[in-house]
Each structure stands twice: as structure tokens, then as C-alpha cells.
Amino acid sequence: MSDFSMYHALGQASPNPNAPPKQNEAAKFRPPVAASPGGYQQVGSPTYSAPPNQYIGTSGANTQSYGTPAQEQSYFPPQPPLPAANEGNMANLTSQMGGVGLGVDTTGHSKAHKKKDRHAYHNIEGPGGSSQAFNGMPQSGTGNTTQFLNQNGPQTGGAAQWGSPQITPAMSQFPASANPLFSPANPASAMQHAARASTPLTGTPASSSQGRVDPEHIPSIPRSRDVPAKFYMEHVYPTMEQHLPPPATVPFVAFDQGNSSPKFARLTLNNIPASSDALASTSLPLGLILQPLAPLQEGEQPIPVLDFGETGPPRCRRCRAYINPFMTFRSGGNKFVCNMCTFPNDVAPEYFAPTDPSGVRVDRLQRPELTLGTVEFMVPKEYWAKEPVGLRWLFLIDVTAEAVNRGFLDGFCEGIMSALYGSASAEKEGDKQDEASQRKLPPGAKVGIVTFDKEIHFYNLGAGLDQAQMLVVPDIEDPFVPLSEGLFVDPEESKAVITSLLTQLPNMFSEVKNPEPALLPTLNAALSALSATGGKVVCSLTALPTWGPGRLFLRDDGNMQNTDAEKKLLTTEHPGFRKVATKMVESGIGIDFFMAAPSGGYLDIATIGHVSAVTGGETFYYPNFHSPRDTLKLSKEIKHTVTRETGYQALMKVRCSNGLQVSAYHGNFYHHTFGADLEFGVIDADKAIGVMFSYDGKLDPKLDAHFQSALLYTTASGERRVRCSNIVASVSEGAAEAMKFVDQDAVVNIIAKEAAARMAEKSLKDVRGALTEKTVDILAGYRKNFTGNNPPGQLVLPENLKEFSMYILGLIKSRAFKGGKEPTDRRVHDMRMIKAMGSLELSLYLYPRIISIHNLDEKDGFANENGHLQMPEGIRASFSRVEEGGAYIVDNGQVCLLWLHAQVSPNLLEDLFGEGYSSLKQLKAFQSTLPVLDTHLNAQVRNILQYLESTRGSKALTLQLARQGLDGAEYEFARLLYEDRNNEAQSYVDWLVHVHRHIQLELAGQRKKEDSGDGLSATASTFVGLRTPYWG
Ligand SMILES: [Zn+2]
């Protein structure tokens, strides 16, 4: 029996030193907000005075109006809102719904309006205000933003769930429960307390009982992001009192109360069914998404680093779990009982502290390891594989003809300089700053440079030299490292030598121009150079490496879709590359590739990227690199790679309570044998791992389930540490309670990672079929087991999985999994990326953010009275939402398009791009940023872009123009409209109808697994064995 008194209840009697700010301080929390890049001030705005670190404001009086004088905030004349936004879908839907025996309104709509209706949704200032367009949910919680503050639990729908504490009945076990309910901005109301009571589970009907499915009323991802985003702008997320994390795309400040922040760990189910049978009734995976080095945001406490000296952190003698807030003390403080395996350990004398009458250690509040979910331990020599040193960065630079000709070499060298020393303009500003703040790499970190074509060139960068000395290794059959001193140097001490070399490299090799790079020998040379210490390699490549040992050839001739041969193209059996990958991990080395195919050629990313996937690195891929447009992105991404939190020589172990066991890991790492620790050459802030669990017994509903991830790694500054994250979930007998605490982002992420892992063994068609089956299984399981008295023809979606089917449709339409032609380089790149993506980056990848900028509210893109950026609401990814004359930002975390309608207002263009740019044709096709102008709109859009840039994964944000009828990027725009029929798959509405039909068949006992009707899963019969348990 675990009642809360076992755990030293947080803050009984004495205040917690980590207590969150009180109400009046809560407003200080804000999402990352940076100053407007150009320090833009509106001319003639006397009231303007923006505090530093806030978005720049302008006076509303200067707002221009575009187009006809009658309207405001709009660039084109208003059109009357039309009722049927998506007539084609409606008609289609009508017939399909009719097919499943629903009472469907078959009258449809007159086709006479069809053409006009394509741009129908045009409700700028219509009745109901701006929330009208996002009226995605017909049930409770629609639109009314005041509702979500005090409404009750997750079962009520809409936005209601974000404000109230989601506390399970078993929550009384948690340490924090002894506290009065914590809500920093709003003290808990009676409503919030009432919300703790369990209420009958109901779902969201996506179709009304009349059988009409209104495309307006199917669950909206933009809305599911916007509403909580507003809430968490003003509120922190307390990790024990709330047990359903914000959606992954939402910036939030977590307050660690003993349970790890969702930024580090997200469980698919925050309430876990006691038995595998109960879990099976949901068809949901039990899993954990871990992003151990995830970045914190402004307002969050840094992770404490604890030093227990020679003895290291206290650990359970039996299961080796690290000390954490859920371990309990007994016998007056002489014993601690492990929360994973219940073993009673002796407390070492140096760690002893007496307990008070309630069993709480008297020093608990001074001990972060007993109060925080995520801490870091310094570890003694037993944890070392080799003497830890500052991280060594080795840049391998491709200097072959293609790299020189296409400007990639220039861009890469510039990127390294910007990563090490900041951009030229920043340097000027930096005159006033002290050296420490200018330093981009932590003290102790070193850098080395190697270039390669048919030969390998090392450089002595010693600080005493006038210029770098090149040493050529002509023997690529047996490469060696020709120098012991001067290869790795302090980037500050050797700044002159390094910058002069990087500046000269493009010229130096413009005369040589070898066409073929010898990559594998270069990787082996890098391995030798770093094997003693470990480190990180950053390698550029612009052509298929066709020279020397390990040369590759064109494997993908573009004609292997849907064949068994295609599967082989997504993986590699090349012994040389596999071997170098394994050896690198063993030596604590990881590699990031920056690969460009300027002429659109094949690079065999399956083989080359294997080395980064196995070593924990990343592949940045520029499929159609065009230097004027893409150099900025390249440079920013190199800088991000070098400056993001990076550790190396890492091992990871995940432990869980008795009754559960790890059943699978998904991600980019090396796994020797099952049961062994995961090994990473390198690991960085953006990388996530999926862990799946299975039952090896029955859980006790009276106890909680505990999980602990421990990442042993060396920091970039050369300290050996363990980062420990602890996650707790309540347990209940059946699964009904679990359905209320489903984390949609974690479920989608686990399923996506698993699907990516299957690509090597199953055909893409089978994987898509299995994703469809899985979607039907989960939603049918919910309908069968957990819904009440909904009419039989109604599609009922679990409250916390309302957008789930759209995310899975996004996955089916992604480059990794989509049907039809797709170069295998792109498929395999995206597949590996999905395996390592954190929840934020994946969510954006599966459904882009789209913001219309032609009808922004005057205050959008500026700080509100609390200093938080007011963001416009997102719009659905469908062409039916695109307005004539409109301008849209489309960001999926990988690319950011600026789509401009052919009839866009000339005034808008001039406000955005400056005088002289009043037509689409006058714009510079390859510009990747907006100029800094003195217009309201320009400042708004730059601020919005800055917000988007601060809320994403590993890819840099630069603009790419997609002008209607002019730019190739229009195809990418169309591809990203995931609610439409595209990418060889259905529209969102049709997809829901399809899923609904199969749910109905399942309920009627007539579901045939071998026919899901759309050709997606024609071979699903092969998955019968895989359906339960999940994937088999
Ligand atoms: Zn233990």
C-alpha cells in the first residue's frame, strides 16, 4: 500500500525552496521571446517603449489598411461567408456515409456555387469573431476561452482539459498531493477540486447523430494547439498536480515537483491499467518518449548538478536504480526502500539523515535528488570508460568539384566560422561583451579541421603558426593521422589560424576540383584521430563517394517502387560503413552529416547516414541545394549543431517498476544485445528515444508505476555525469481511467518510431496498412469498451485522442511512408529523422503550422500587456482555407514557406518587402529572410517568424518563397496541405469516414482485416498476427 505519507510529502510545514513563484510573479513566465532582429521601431510612435527582450510594439494608430477603404485589417475586399466550405468532400462523404447505413442528408449542395466555394471560407470579422473558423468541436468547450480555466477534467472536451488539474483517483499516492492544490496564477477553485472526481467517460462525436459530418466540425489540430498555447503563456505546468502534459507544440514552463517535465519524458498513458489484458482493450502502446537533454526555456530552473564525491550517487543495491523522490526512508532513516524493486537498502553513513515522525527525511528540502524529477549526478572513476576531456569537434570538409562549384564549400566554411565565432555583425556588437559570453564552445572543447577529395588533408592549427599547415595523406588504402600536436586546438587561441584557413579553403580548391570524394577512408582517419578521446565529427558531402575503398554506386534507379528491392535501398549492408559506425560508437564518437545533392543526384543516404544513425548523430539533407537561397539555412544549422547541448560517449538505461519490463527501444543508437544499455557516440538536445513496455505480471492498483531513465555521458566541457529522469504514473484496475490520461503526442510518437523501425523489414504498403489498422483498432476499442449511450452510427473519438487520426494520416502522407514515387534518399532520411525526433518536432512534421498574414489583427505579433507575444490562430492545412489574395506562412519544422496568392495586394508586398516590390514577379525568388522595414506588417511577421524559430526542433528557420504560379515550392505547399487529398492518400474527411466505416464493421463483428477498402492495406492479412499485441 502506498499512501502519500510513505513519500515525504512535499512542503509539509516548511516551504519548498523551489516553490514556484506566487501569483504576482507568474506573469513573468513567458515563452522564449527575443527582440525584434533589427530593433525595429515604428516611426512617429511617441508612446512606444518596449522593454528589452520583448517583441517590438508599434502604435495601432499607424496601422495601414490595404485595399478598399471600407475594410480594416484586410488586403482584399470581403466576400460573404459561404456555408459549405468543402463541397466536394461533403458530397463524397454523403455517399460514403450513406453506404454505412447512416441517416445522411443526401441532398448535398448545388454544384452551381462550386467554383466560388473553393475560396469560400472568408470570415474575417464575421459574427462570432475569429474563433468561428476554429469552431472545430461541436461539443462542450467550443470557442469560449474563459471556459478552460475552471472547467473540469479531460473528459469534457475541447479546451477544458488544460486548466484543471488532471488527478486520478490514485493520485493520493503522489508526494505532492498533501499540498493544497497548486496553481500559481489562479488559486484552485471549487470547480477545480470538483474536477478531481471521476466522471463517466464520454467521447467527442465527430459526426452528429443526423449523420452529417461537417468538415468544420471534425477535430482541428490548429485549435488543439492554439487554445492550450494561450493558457500556458500565463500558467506554469506543475508536474505532479497535472498529469496530462500540454500538446508538444506548446511552449510551457514546467515546475518540477518530483515528476520529470514532459520535455524530458512523456508517457503514452499517465494512468496505467493493471494487466496486459486491460491494456489490450485499448490497443494503445505503453511507452515512454525520452529526450534526456531537451532544452529548457526561459523561466525554468536549470537542472541541478549534484556531486556525491568518491562514492557516487546512492543507488539501489538490487536493481541499481538511482536515488529519487519516490524512494522512501524507514527505520529512522537507516534504510531506503527502492521504488522500482521494493528492496530495502542500507543508507550509507555519509548519506544518513534522521526522519521526522511522518517518515520524511529532515533534510529533504535541501536535497534536490529527493524533490526533483530530473537531476544530474557527477560520477566517480568507476563510471569512466576513458579520461573525460572537453568535447573534440572534428570538421570533415568535402572540397571536391561539386562542393566548390555549387557554393556548398563556401557555405559550410562560413557556417563553421559563425558557429565558432558568431556572425560578423554579432562580433562587432560583441566588442563590449567579455570573452566568456563570446565563447561559443565551452572551455576545454577543441576543434580540428580535415578536408578531403581523392586525398585526405589534415591541418596543423597551432596557435603559434602564421597560417595553418596542410599535411596530405595520399594513401587512402591505409589512412593515418599525420600529426599529434596541433590537430585539435582551442578555437579561441587559434582563432586567427582557423578563420584564415576557412576563408581561404574555397579558393584553395577552386583550382584542384577533383570530382570524386573518398569518404570511407576519411571516416576511418577521423576514427583514428578521435579514438583516444571520443568526440564529434561534422562532415559535409556533395557527391556520391565513388573513389577509393568503400566507394558507393548508384543503387536507386528510380524504378523500384513497391518492390522488394526498394526495401534494400532503405538500409545498407555495406561492411565498411557498418564497421566504421560500430567502431565509432565503441570509441565514443558520433557524426552529423551535411549532405547536399545540388544537381538532385543520388547520395546513398541509406549507407552513409547509417553511420550517423548508429552513432547517435544526425543527417542534414539539402536535396536541391541552391546557394543564394540555402546558404543561410546551412550556416544556421551548422551553428545549431555546434552550440546545442551535446554529450558524448553515452550509455542509457531505462528502469521500471516490478510487473513491467522494457520490450523494445526505438531511436538512433547502437544496441549490442537486447538487455544491454543503449550506446550513443553522441547525443544532443534534439534527440529522443522511444521505449516500449510490456507486462511480466499484474500491477497493484494501490501502488504507482515508476520509470527512471539514466543517461551516463560526458559533457561538452568534459565532465562525466548521469542525467536521471523519474516518471510516475498511477495504476488502475481497468483501462477506463487510463483513457482519460492518454498523451496523444506520446502515442503518435511511439507509433511513428515503431513504423519507421519496420521499414527495413516490411514493404511501405504493409506499413501504411498497419498504421490504418492500428488507428481502427484504437478507435474501435474505445467505442467498444469505453463509450456510453452514443447512437450506433456516431463516430466517437476519445477526448485525448481527437486529433490522433489526423496525425496518423499525416504520417501516412509523410515523405517516409507516402505512396507513389519518392527518391529513397528522401525516404530513408525522413525515416531516420522520425526515429530520433522529439515530440515537438514530430508533431510539426506531421501537421504544419499555417498562419495567414494578410488579415492579422493589429496586435498580432506584438507583446500583450503581460509581455507575451500575441500569436494569430493557426489555420487548417487545406486549400479550402486559402483565401483569394492571401499570404500564408507554412512551417512544418523542416521548411518554412511563404505562400503568396497570385492576386496578393501590392500594398501588402511593399509593406513586407519594401518599396519597389509591389508584384510577385518583382520579388527576389531566392531571398531567405525578410528585410527589416519600418512597417507594422513587416515587424509583425518578423516577430511571428522569430516565435516559430524558437519553437521547433533541430532545423533552422529560413523563408522560402512559394509564389502562386511562379515557384517550384508551390508543390511543397500543396504537399503539406495534409487535410486535402494528396500524397496518394485520402482527404481528412474521407479518411475519417473510412476509419469510421471500419469501426462500424468491427463493432458488428464484420471487419475483414484483409480489406480496408482503400488499397492501403490490401495485404493487411499478413498483419493478423501483428494486431495484438501491438505490431507483434
Ligand atoms: Zn531497486
The grid coordinates of residue 213 equal 459530418
For the record, the C-alpha cell of 801 comes out as 485522442
Return the closest-CA partner of residue 682 out of 644, 646, 717: 646
Tally helices (H) and strands (E) across the chain: 28, 30
- DSSP state letters, 129-154: GGGGGG---SSTT-S-TTHHHH---G
For residue 731, the CA-to-ligand 1 centroid distance in Å is 19
The arithmetic mean of pLDDT across residues 675-701, rounded, is: 96
Query: Could you report the per-residue pLDDT of 748-768, keeping only the tens digit for each?
Result: 999 999 999 998 888 999 999
C-alpha cell at 879: 486549400
Residues β-bridged to residue 265: 290
Q: Omega before 1029 cis (within 30°)?
A: yes
Residues 6+ apart with CB under 8 A from 659: 695, 696, 697, 698, 699, 700, 705
Q: How far is the CA of 705 from the centre of ligand 1 (A)?
A: 13
Q: pLDDT tens digits for 987-1022?
A: 999 999 999 999 999 998 888 764 444 443 433 333
How many angstroms does the Cα of residue 321 sit away from the middle of ligand 1?
5
pLDDT category, 424, cuts 50, 70, 90?
low
Beta-bridge mates of residue 524: none
pLDDT digit string, tens, across residues 427-445: 444 444 544 456 889 999 9
- What's the distance, CA 703 to chain centroid? 32
The three grid cell numbers given for residue 751, joined into one nine-digit string: 507509433
Ligand 1 center–CA 386 separation, angstroms: 28
- Ligand 1 centre distance from Cα of residue 661 (Å): 14
Joined together, the cell numbers standing for residue 412 give 559550410
Q: Does residue 573 come out as left (phi exceeding 0), alpha (psi in the -120 to 50 range) or beta?
A: alpha
Is residue 304 predicted with pLDDT exceeding 60? yes
CA 371 – ligand 1 centroid, Å: 18
Phi and psi (nearest 5°) for 633? -65, -45
Q: Are 93 and 993 a contacting pair, CB within 8 Å?
A: yes
Q: How far away, in angstroms, is 657 Cα from ligand 1 center? A: 9
Distance 342 CA to ligand 1 centre (A): 6
CB 618 within 8 A of CB 836: yes
Grid coordinates representing 928 are 531567405
Q: Is the pLDDT of residue 125 over 80?
A: no
Q: Please determine, for residue 708, whether its predicted confidence score (pLDDT) is greater than 80.
A: yes
CA-CA distances (angstroms) from residue 145 to 96, 160, 973? 35, 9, 31
pLDDT of residue 558: 76
Distance between Cα 377 and ligand 1 center (Å): 18
Cα 832–chain centre separation: 14
Torsion over CA: 797, 803, 807, 809 (sign): positive
pLDDT(787) > 80: yes
Distance CA 447, CA 391 (A): 9
The number of CA neighbours under 13 Å toward the Cβ of 494 is 26
SS3 content of the chain, % helix, strand, coil (to 5): 35, 15, 50
- Cα–ligand 1 centroid distance for 316 (angstroms): 5
Dihedral sign computed on CA atoms, order 829, 667, 282, 709: negative
CB of 416 within 8 A of CB of 502?
A: yes
Quick one: average pLDDT of 179-195?
Answer: 31
Q: Residues with Cβ < 8 Å from 324, sequence gap 6 or more?
A: 339, 369, 370, 373, 708, 724, 726
Percent of residues, the chain, with pLDDT higher than 70: 75
What's the gap in Å between 337 CA and the centre of ligand 1? 8
The pLDDT of residue 390 is 97
Instruction: For residue 564, name the pLDDT band (cuts at 50, 70, 90).
Output: confident
**How is 962-1030 classified by DSSP, letter by letter?**
EETTT-THHHHHHHH-TTSSBTTB--HHHHHHHHHHHHHHHHTT---TT--SSSTTTTGGGGHHHHTTT
Identity of residue 82: L
Angle at 317 between CA 262 and CA 178, to 5 degrees: 45
Mean per-residue pLDDT for 94-122?
33
Taking CA atoms, 714 is separated from 226, 679, 718, in Å, by: 38, 13, 6
The confidence score (pLDDT) of residue 557 equals 79
Under the banding of pLDDT at 50, 70 and 90, the label for residue 203 is low
Return d(Cα 117, Cα 122) in angstroms, integer. Answer: 10
Buried b (16+ CB within 10 A) or exposed e, 309-326: eeebbbbbeebebbbbbb
Encoded amino acid at 178, one letter:
A
Q: How far is the CA of 179 from the centre of ligand 1 (A)?
A: 27
289 vs 199, more confident? 289
pLDDT for residue 895 is more than 80: yes
80-90, pLDDT tens digit by residue? 443 333 333 33
Label each residue of 837-893 as H, E or C.
ECHHHHHHHHCCEEEECCCCCCCCCCECCCCCECCCCCCCCCHHHCCCCCEEEEECC
Mean pLDDT over the full length of the chain? 81
Q: Angle between the 575-586 and 605-615 helix axes, to the nearest 10 degrees? A: 20
**Ligand 1 centroid to 315 CA: how many Å?**
8
Section 312-341 average pLDDT: 97
Q: Is the pLDDT of residue 8 over 70?
A: no
Residues with Cβ within 8 Å of 680's Cβ and at least 6 positions away in sequence, in order, are 585, 590, 615, 616, 648, 649, 650, 651, 652, 669, 670, 713
**Å from CA of 548 to ligand 1 middle:** 52
What spacing in Å lies between the alpha carbon of 942 and ligand 1's midpoint?
A: 52
Query: How many angstroms is it from 323 CA to the middle of ligand 1?
Result: 9
Closest listed residue to residue 688, CA positions, set 1028, 236, 264? 264
With 0-12 CB in 10 A as exposed, 13-18 as middle and 19+ as buried, what is 376? buried
H helix or E strand, kind and range, residue 535: strand 535-541
Closest CA to 58 of 870, 913, 915, 853: 870
The three three-digit cell numbers of residue 454, written as one number? 581523392
Antiparallel, parallel or unpaired: β 204-205 and 796-797 = antiparallel
176 closest CA partner among 10, 357, 45, 301? 10
**Sole residue written with cell 597551432:** 462
Is the pLDDT confidence value at 157 over 90? Answer: no
- Ligand 1 mean position, distance from CA 659 (Å): 13
Higher pLDDT, 30 or 799: 799
Percent of the chain having pLDDT more than 90? 67
- Alpha helix stretches (DSSP H) within 154-251: 190-194, 221-234
Q: How confident is the model at residue 975 (pLDDT cuts 50, 70, 90)?
A: very high
Segment 394-400 shows an average pLDDT of: 97
pLDDT for res 183: 29
Q: How far is the CA of 709 from the centre of ligand 1 (A)?
A: 13
Q: What is the DSSP string of 340-366?
A: TT--EEEPPGGG---B-TTS-BTTGGG
Alpha carbons 945 and 929: distance in angstroms, whole number: 10
205: pLDDT confidence band, cut at 50, 70 and 90? Answer: low
**How many A from CA of 341 to the centre of ligand 1?**
4
How confident is the model over 808-830, as pLDDT tens digits?
A: 999 999 999 999 989 999 999 99
CB-CB contact of 782 with 798 (8 Å): yes
Separation of 272 CA from ligand 1 center, angstroms? Answer: 20
CA of 743 to the centre of ligand 1 (A): 27
Position 707 confidence tier, pLDDT thresholds 50, 70, 90: very high
For the stretch 579-596, pLDDT in tens is 999 999 999 999 999 999
Q: How far is the CA of 925 from the centre of ligand 1 (A)?
A: 61
549 CA distance to ligand 1 middle (Å): 49
Centre of ligand 1 to C-alpha 978, Å, is: 47
Burial class (CB in 10 A: 0-12, 13-18, 19+), 867: middle
Average pLDDT of the residues in 374-392: 95
| pLDDT beyond 50 at 695 | yes
Q: Please, which pLDDT band fits residue 351 given cuts at 50, 70 and 90?
A: very high
Contact (CB, 8 A) for 316 and 341: yes
* Mean pLDDT, range 598-616, rounded to an integer: 93
- Give residue-wise pLDDT tens across range 489-524: 999 999 999 999 999 999 999 998 899 999 999 999
**Rounded to whole angstroms, how far apart are CA atoms 779 and 178?**
36
Residue 355 confidence (pLDDT) = 96
List the grid coordinates of 697: 505480471
pLDDT above 60 for 137: no
Tell me: pLDDT of 100 over 70. Answer: no
Least confident stretch, 65-74, 201-210, 895-904: 65-74
Amino acid in the structure at residue 278: A
